[in-house]
Amino acid sequence: MKPIIATFAVLALAGAPLLAAQQAPPTPPAQSPAKPEAKPDSKAAPTVTGKWNMSVDTDQGAMASTLDMKIDGKKVTGTIVSQMGETTLEGEFAEGKLTFWITMQGGGGEMSLTFSGAFKEDGTLAGTLDFGQGALNWRAERVKDK
């Protein structure tokens, strides 16, 4: 009995617009006044898209690297290049917080590194790097266009 009722409900919902179209003549869409073009908001949320010079504070001193990130919705993809080589990164940028991770070969085998951070008032990114044995601080500054 339930499948029959469900079938009738689907048919009724599907046919309702057809019945309404047959009973009432179509009304032309209302013309709204032209809207002025939106101007870019100078206080728009910053984006992580682009190239960044990053520095990680280690026991042996600062380790420099370059990030190149793209964002699609919340998903972040890109590369990180350092003295260890180049590897891909993936992560997320949501609610002002950036999290991305990389996998690389270390002396003891494969290592996963997770970077977490956020924008600072000066437009830089900063946060911590978790490599499974503690956390290191990192910061990144956007590469300036020449």
Cβ 112 vs Cβ 103: under 8 Å: yes
Query: What was the pLDDT predicted at 83?
Result: 86
Mean pLDDT of 112-116: 95
> Which fold, 50-142?
Lipocalin (2.40.128)
For residues 80 and 87, give the distance between their C-alpha atoms in angstroms, rounded to a whole number: 6
* Weakest-pLDDT range from 24-28, 55-59, 67-71, 88-92: 24-28
For residues 113 and 101, give the distance between their C-alpha atoms in angstroms, rounded to a whole number: 5
For residues 133 and 35, give the distance between their C-alpha atoms in angstroms, rounded to a whole number: 56
Mean pLDDT of 81-92: 93
Rg value, the chain, Cα:
26
SS3 5: helix
φ and ψ of 41, to 5 deg:
-85, 120
Q: Which helix (H) or strand (E) holds 42?
A: none
Domain extent listing, the chain: 50-142
